[in-house]
Structure 1
Amino acid sequence: MTTYYTADKIFTGQDETTFATAFAVEDGHFTWVGEARDLPSDVDVVVLNGPVLPGFLDVHTHATLVANFVNAVACTVPVVTDIPSLIAALRVHPNTGASASTWIEGWGYDESKLAEHRTPTRHDLDLVSTTQPVYVQRSDCHSGICNTRALELAGIDASTPDPEGAAFGREADGVTPNGILIEHGANQRVLQAKGSAGFDADARALAATTRHFAERGIVGITDMFCIPTRYDHRDLFRAAQQEGLRQSARIYYDFATIQVHPIRPIIEQDKVGRVAVAGIKLFADGALSNRTGWMRTPYKGSSNECGMSTAPTSLMQAALSYARQYGLQIAFHAMGDRAIESLVDFFGDLDPWLTDVPSVRIEHASIMDPALIQRIHEARMNFGVVTNVDFLYAEYDSYSENLTESQLACAYPVRDEFGVLENLALASDCPATTWADPDDVFMSIHAAVNRTSYNGAPINHAQAITVEQAVLLYTGKARTLLDFPQLGSIEPGKEASFITVSQDIFSEPTELIKDTVVTNTWIQGDSIYCRA
């Protein structure tokens, strides 16, 4: 049965200029797109209220982390601005006052955003509860903080050695843990104490993110940092699909983990379908917010502080061999310009092993000058670039504190990239973004178009792009980064996954974009979300 839809404005996602006013859907796919005046006079029509867009693709998010934090408290701006407001937010968590084994959880704190400009400790979180474990993950998802009870449950005390490549924060005596968990190894120690609710419960929690993503108009998701120590994420996502996960999903394994905990071989069947393995994930540097992103020139106020490199040539070679063997993408976290340059140096002259999608993805791509953008464009390797203007929007304070004027001028140069790079997308990195609603696509689009931060500070307006271009970087252009061939546009043959929104972002003043909300989301022709 064919259903006909009309709307005053339909952005098709095919390019910057193609709009329509009607389309037809049959068996979950678009069969015709055109003008309402061309519809037969004798057909029933569903009239859609508000502009229509293709469903969004978040090509760099962390779906299992989102599942973990759906019931956690947001501990970041604009909700939390100081340590007292962080404590207050955690005190109203639904679990507060429950049993001694029930965890109180939050996410998203960033010490640079707190009025005190310090990391909260166990003493602060003990004000939330001394009987229940309290844990808050940092905005970068690498580190965290916990209270005394959580330290006890994790077996962390003065005699506990620091994990390799990580550290437990210590009191002034240098030995007593203070509840600060620095980097993955320390963070994981507490998360392991919290434990998993079990495979079936985790699958149901992942399936429950369907509504979270649908509320934001997102129909295609990724999990960019799968750590298969408890179970293989192929199995988890497939089970979640059986439990009702509707979004198409692509999985990226943490390459460091699978070197220690090998997964079963990836076969062709694993790489197709609505849930599929897409690649492996590595880190080429740290973050700009804590000056560990690898830069060509020193950070502001320093003569020699240029960050850190975390991907030696031997690691890149191992990843290359693995990706070629199994026909996978390599996705590299790379924020500083020197880190990005190192990837171009190593991979740039190699032949791609994938043809339909980029073989190498550069994630975040925070600092790039025009010459580096041109090198990526001219390389023999088919690079993809994912960028995050939402970081600069939400974390302006730390960026302006850490970066020199010339470095800031090269931060997230989306306009330069849009005109040169074929494979380019905007993404959220949710929940590793210092914002209370980190995968609000309209916040990201707002930042890319207006180039102002959350507090109104300018963030290099010369790199502003149009609304149409920004939407494309979440739809038609975003699908060039990974294998979502049926998504990203409204055209015959594509999956009928589309949204309606609350206002016409193409004609309203651009400063209002951030106020836009999704009113309805359809996936495969089914209405799965309607805003009350």
Structure 2
Amino acid sequence: MEMNKRMFINGKIFTSNKEKKYANAMIIHNGIVEWIGNQEEIHDFQGAVIDLKNRRVLPGIIDAHMHPLLLANFSKQIACTPPVVYSIVDMIRELLTMDNADWIEGWGYDEGKLEEGRAPNRQDLDQVSIIKPIVVTRTCGHIISVNSKALSIAGINKDTPDPDGGKIDRDTNGEPTGVLRESARLLVLNKMPQLSMEENASRLTALTKSLYAHGITSITDLMASHKPMDYIDIYTLAREKGLTHNVVLYYMWHDLKINPILNEKNTDRKNPIHIGGVKLFADGSVSGRTAWVNPSFLGEEDNHGISTTSENELLEAAEYAKQNGVQLVIHAMGEQAIDLIVNTFYGKEPWIHDGPSIRIEHAAMPTLQAIERSAEMGIAFVPQPIFLYAEIESYLANLGSDRTKTTYPVKTMLNAGIPVAFSSDAPATAWADPVNPFVGIKSAVTRVAYDGTNTGDAEKIDVETAIELYTRGAQYITRIPNVGQLIEGYRADFIVLNKDIFEVSPEEIDQISVEATFMKGELVYLKEGVSSKQ
């Protein structure tokens, strides 16, 4: 059905278009921006006119790296984060309230924020229950803490060897402590009961309003799988139930090796839900001391983290990605992990020509050579500025102050010519509202953590650039067609803010809220208390 033309006037529109960054009016026809510019140029317009009331308008936010299904499922678990949990004692108290579940689950702890300064172990969690299995996921998503019952169900004991790419923490007697790192998590996670397709889709659909309330109009899932059920089927069912975002899925390579499901249909970018890439992990996390780093972690000369892939596996996955015209997407935080990727592909031809063939997710500590070579090859970096903001205690403890200030060197990346997109990695960060893009923008602009710690003045960027990395920059890297800018011929996905992000002090950016979100020119979210007469 053809929509009538409508004109939006009296807006302070930031377009993210390099050629014409600002406008005050736009005409939208059939969900597409037909014209944008100065309203004084418009004469004899026939159609509805909407007054933006001199408010700031931005293109819809594109979160280039997140985990919506995990975010949706975590909403049903115990949040082990401030402002409720500040200690393992608090955590035990909160977990005790989940006594009606077969498996007791929690998420989001960061030992840097806990009074005890350590991860919960099986003895701690046994105080909650020795009958029911308990799994608490660390903020990074790479480490879990479990109780004795969960260890027993998974068959983990003193004699269980560490799996490839993983580690079972042990006490001085060699007994498992209940802390499982990287692939060792799967020994327990694979034993957990699975939600049904219907339950997963319903939880995803319930996220829709929250995402729109944050101005997010395009989402990604960086941990897609085809088992025990296919993510593309889950998201398709969620769409039937009311999920209306643009969605790009990135499938885990270890699953695709077993069942190579990519085809022309499910990788077609014209589909609102499609597969955009093949995902691997090259290491773990900085905050969990499992990133593959050089030099070692502070206070542990023999701990350089965990390497979780190889040159051969990278080349094999890249060949499959190339055959299917999708990206190779690799999680890498430490210097050695990033170097492995960059050096493996240095000098090799890209296979995608309207965006990056290779994405490095997080890219916390790239060496100067890795930055130079990535820029030369068009490799993209996808950092999360909220990490330094929210997890500063762990970064200082694991890297020290000087090294922390050089992590996520966004300004250096951009100056070198590397394609960059911002994202949240939600829910994999120690923040009560992990998906909020305005927290990320504030962090990137100020380089100051939530507690006031300076995280590196030299890598500050301006507000305009930060918004572009959440819009135009994220579009280039995710390759979602015709979004990320308010420009003729592009989709009219945009948001209206309660305060002008260019006029508030940088320290107040995280206080900005979204008053209205539009998809294809249609109002899909209106903040409570705001007049519907837009």
TM-score by length of 2: 0.90
Q: 1:299: which partner in 2?
A: 297
Q: 2:414: which partner in 1?
A: 418
Asked whether the equivalents of residues 95 and 104 of structure 2 are also in contact (C-alpha less than 8 Å), the reply is: yes
Confirm whether residue 20 of structure 1 aligns to residue 19 of structure 2: no
What are structure 1's unaligned runs of at least 5 residues? none
AA in 1 matched with 2:28: V
- Distance in 2 (CA, whole Å) between partners of 1:276 and 1:3 is 30
Confirm whether residue 262 of structure 1 aligns to residue 259 of structure 2: yes
Quote how far apart the aligned CAs of 1:184 are: 3.5
Q: 2:181: which partner in 1?
A: 182
AA in 1 matched with 2:222: M
Alignment partner of 1:105: what SS? strand
Q: 2:67: which partner in 1?
A: 62
Q: 1:161: which partner in 2?
A: 160
After TM superposition, the structure 1 = structure 2 runs for residues 216-227 of structure 1, keeping only pairs within 5 Å, are: 216-227=214-225
- Distance in 2 (CA, whole Å) between partners of 1:241 and 1:354 is 28
AA in 1 matched with 2:179: I
CA separation of 1:14 and 1:503: change in aligned 2, threshold 3 A:
same
Q: 1:195: which partner in 2?
A: 193
- Distance in 2 (CA, whole Å) between partners of 1:74 and 1:205 is 17
- Distance in 1 (CA, whole Å) between partners of 2:131 and 2:297 is 43
Confirm whether residue 71 of structure 1 aligns to residue 67 of structure 2: no
CA separation of 1:442 and 1:389: change in aligned 2, threshold 3 A:
same
Alignment partner of 2:499: what SS? coil
AA in 2 matched with 1:245: L
Quote how far apart the aligned CAs of 1:342 are: 2.1
Q: 2:456: which partner in 1?
A: 460
Alignment partner of 1:270: what SS? coil
CA separation of 1:451 and 1:226: change in aligned 2, threshold 3 A:
same
AA in 1 matched with 2:472: G
Q: Which is further off, 322-331 or 128-137?
A: 128-137
Asked whether the equivalents of residues 60 and 428 of structure 1 are also in contact (C-alpha less than 8 Å), the reply is: yes
Q: 1:45: which partner in 2?
A: 49
Asked whether the equivalents of residues 232 and 263 of structure 1 are also in contact (C-alpha less than 8 Å), the reply is: no
- Distance in 1 (CA, whole Å) between partners of 2:434 and 2:397 is 22
Q: Which is further off, 517-526 or 300-309?
A: 300-309
- Distance in 2 (CA, whole Å) between partners of 1:415 and 1:499 is 26
- Distance in 2 (CA, whole Å) between partners of 1:372 and 1:404 is 22
Quote how far apart the aligned CAs of 1:134 are: 4.1
Asked whether the equivalents of residues 14 and 23 of structure 2 are also in contact (C-alpha less than 8 Å), the reply is: yes
Quote how far apart the aligned CAs of 1:353 are: 0.7
- Distance in 2 (CA, whole Å) between partners of 1:147 and 1:309 is 27
Write the deviation string for residues 48-84 of structure 1: whole angstroms up to 9, x where unpaired.
3531111101111112212211323322244432223
- Distance in 1 (CA, whole Å) between partners of 2:65 and 2:316 is 23
- Distance in 1 (CA, whole Å) between partners of 2:418 and 2:158 is 53
TM-score by length of 1: 0.90
Match of 2:39 among 9, 25, 36: 36
Quote how far apart the aligned CAs of 1:370 are: 4.5
- Distance in 2 (CA, whole Å) between partners of 1:369 and 1:470 is 23
Q: Which is further off, 508-517 or 235-244?
A: 235-244
CA separation of 1:211 and 1:118: change in aligned 2, threshold 3 A:
same
Asked whether the equivalents of residues 228 and 263 of structure 1 are also in contact (C-alpha less than 8 Å), the reply is: no
CA separation of 1:361 and 1:327: change in aligned 2, threshold 3 A:
same
- Distance in 1 (CA, whole Å) between partners of 2:140 and 2:49 is 46
Asked whether the equivalents of residues 471 and 484 of structure 2 are also in contact (C-alpha less than 8 Å), the reply is: yes
Asked whether the equivalents of residues 135 and 147 of structure 2 are also in contact (C-alpha less than 8 Å), the reply is: yes
After TM superposition, the structure 1 = structure 2 runs for residues 280-295 of structure 1, keeping only pairs within 5 Å, are: 280-295=278-293
Quote how far apart the aligned CAs of 1:132 are: 5.6
Match of 1:357 among 343, 355, 365: 355
Quote how far apart the aligned CAs of 1:88 are: 4.0
- Distance in 1 (CA, whole Å) between partners of 2:28 and 2:151 is 55
Asked whether the equivalents of residues 80 and 107 of structure 2 are also in contact (C-alpha less than 8 Å), the reply is: yes
- Distance in 2 (CA, whole Å) between partners of 1:159 and 1:372 is 40
AA in 1 matched with 2:137: Q
Write the deviation string for residues 109-142 of structure 1: whole angstroms up to 9, x where unpaired.
1222211012113443455566665432111212
Q: Which is further off, 28-37 or 342-351?
A: 28-37
AA in 2 matched with 1:24: I
Alignment partner of 2:416: what SS? coil
Confirm whether residue 383 of structure 1 aligns to residue 379 of structure 2: yes
Quote how far apart the aligned CAs of 1:439 are: 1.3
Q: 2:426: which partner in 1?
A: 430
CA separation of 1:296 and 1:197: change in aligned 2, threshold 3 A:
closer
- Distance in 1 (CA, whole Å) between partners of 2:498 and 2:95 is 32
Quote how far apart the aligned CAs of 1:271 are: 2.7
Quote how far apart the aligned CAs of 1:104 are: 4.2
What are structure 2's unaligned runs of at least 5 residues? 529-534
Size of the aligned set, in residue pairs, is: 521
- Distance in 2 (CA, whole Å) between partners of 1:167 and 1:402 is 18
